[in-house]
């Protein structure tokens, strides 16, 4: 029992000090520039590829390092190595294993017939599952629920934006919802009703809707009131990827090019300890609270032309950018390699 306790204490120390945990890919696995499926693919892992897990977020995405480009993967497709590994246990009868379950990744100390589970460094307890989806319909620009997507509850859209106008090809139905698709704006012209999941709309409705309504029960004809113009429902990615930004170099976030004439941020080094991220060519920055605000948050952020000291941007911080071409962008400081900053970024078109 004393040996088991000593092993647990040794593991606790090693978990606190650990910078990475080994894992392997269980299938062909995309590595992305940020923690989510919406970020750009930077490389693909083959099955059984060994990686080092250095950070995990509560949405189940983990930052991994390996011999190729590093980035983010879904922990659903990671597993503990079947051989090797360690854990630094002082008890030869104990071993450490990585467990990737429905509650997220964890480290387990296994001694004999018992085990103790400790949290993976950098993770937080998972949030409760989202509430069940109510009465709504989801619309897709391609067959088989692919392409651009938006979902809408009970209500009316008298006109569709350019992304979806005359482009809806498949529909998913939740709850008691029904979808009414009409050829013209303001629910005018021929209309077509969808009552169940439809992977490909009939020819009479495919790629023809300019307005729609989601309702329950039978449809009652009403005179629609004019509504304000519909704003774009989904952000459109203009450019995304990983950047290795050397000290004193600049990068254009509109295309990811380093040292180009339209650079937006400059890795400025005044002295060995006095360093900044400085906006260039009319670009502006918004640090805020350093969280991942995405397109919606960055689009309304308070931008200014002030430089940001590196001390205010620890690893894991997100910074919003209004590029020199007027686009909304966001980058994340993923880490350092010597004096080189390793960034992941996304710039949106709209």
The pLDDT value given to residue 274: 93
| Residue 254 or residue 7, greater confidence | 254
Rounded to whole angstroms, the Cα distance separating 119 from 109 reads: 11
Task: Please report which confidence band the pLDDT of residue 230 belongs to, taking 50, 70 and 90 as the band edges.
Answer: low
Average pLDDT over residues 132-145: 90
> For residue 82, what is the DSSP state?
S
Ranking 41-55, 64-78, 95-109, 250-264 by mean pLDDT, the lowest is 95-109
Rounded to whole angstroms, the Cα distance separating 245 from 339 reads: 9
Number of H helices, E strands in the chain: 2, 27
How many Cα atoms occupy the beta-carbon half-sphere of 293 within 13 Å? Answer: 22
**Sheet order of strands, 211-216 included:** 155-157, 211-216, 177-182, 191-194
Rounded to whole angstroms, the Cα distance separating 253 from 327 reads: 9
Average pLDDT over residues 88-93: 44
> What are the structural domains of the chain?
2-119 (2.30.30.40), 136-216 (2.60.20.10), 237-348 (no CATH)
Mean pLDDT of the residues in the chain:
82
Neighbours of 217 (CB within 10 A): 7
Is the pLDDT confidence value at 192 over 70? yes
Record the tokens describing residue 24, joined without a space.
């392997």
Is the pLDDT confidence value at 211 over 70? yes
């Amino acid at each position: 029992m004393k040996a088991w306790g000593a092993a647990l204490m040794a593991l606790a120390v090693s978990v606190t000090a650990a910078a990475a945990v080994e894992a392997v890919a269980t299938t062909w696995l995309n590595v992305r520039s940020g923690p989510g499926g919406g970020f750009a693919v930077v490389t693909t892992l083959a099955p059984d590829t060994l990686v080092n897990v250095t950070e995990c977020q509560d949405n189940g995405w983990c930052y991994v390092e390996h011999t190729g480009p590093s980035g983010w993967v879904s922990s659903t497709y990671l597993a503990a190595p079947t051989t090797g590994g360690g854990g630094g246990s002082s008890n030869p009868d104990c071993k450490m294993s990585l467990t990737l379950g429905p509650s997220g990744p964890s480290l387990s100390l296994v001694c004999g017939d018992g085990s103790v589970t400790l949290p993976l460094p950098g993770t937080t307890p998972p949030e409760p599952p989202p509430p069940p989806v109510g009465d709504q319909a989801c619309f897709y620009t391609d067959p088989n629920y692919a392409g651009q997507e938006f979902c809408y509850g009970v209500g009316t859209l008298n006109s569709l934006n350019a992304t979806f106008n005359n482009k809806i090809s498949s529909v998913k139905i939740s709850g008691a919802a029904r979808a009414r698709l009409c050829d013209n704006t303001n629910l005018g012209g021929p209309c077509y009703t969808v009552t169940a999941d439809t992977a490909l709309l009939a020819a009479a409705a495919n790629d023809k809707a300019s307005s729609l309504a989601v309702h329950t029960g039978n449809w009652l004809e009403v005179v629609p009131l004019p509504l304000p113009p519909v704003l774009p429902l989904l952000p459109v990615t203009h450019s995304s990827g990983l950047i290795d930004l050397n000290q004193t170099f600049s990068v254009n976030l509109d295309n990811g090019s380093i040292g180009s004439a339209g650079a937006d941020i400059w890795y400025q080094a005044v002295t060995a300890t006095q360093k900044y991220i400085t906006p260039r060519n009319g670009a502006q920055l918004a640090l805020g609270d350093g969280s991942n605000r995405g397109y919606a948050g960055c689009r309304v952020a308070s931008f200014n032309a002030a430089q940001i000291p590196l001390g205010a941007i620890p690893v894991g911080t997100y910074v919003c950018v209004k590029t020199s071409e007027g686009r909304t962008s966001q980058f994340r400081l993923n880490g350092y390699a010597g004096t080189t900053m390793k960034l992941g970024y996304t710039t949106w078109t709209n």
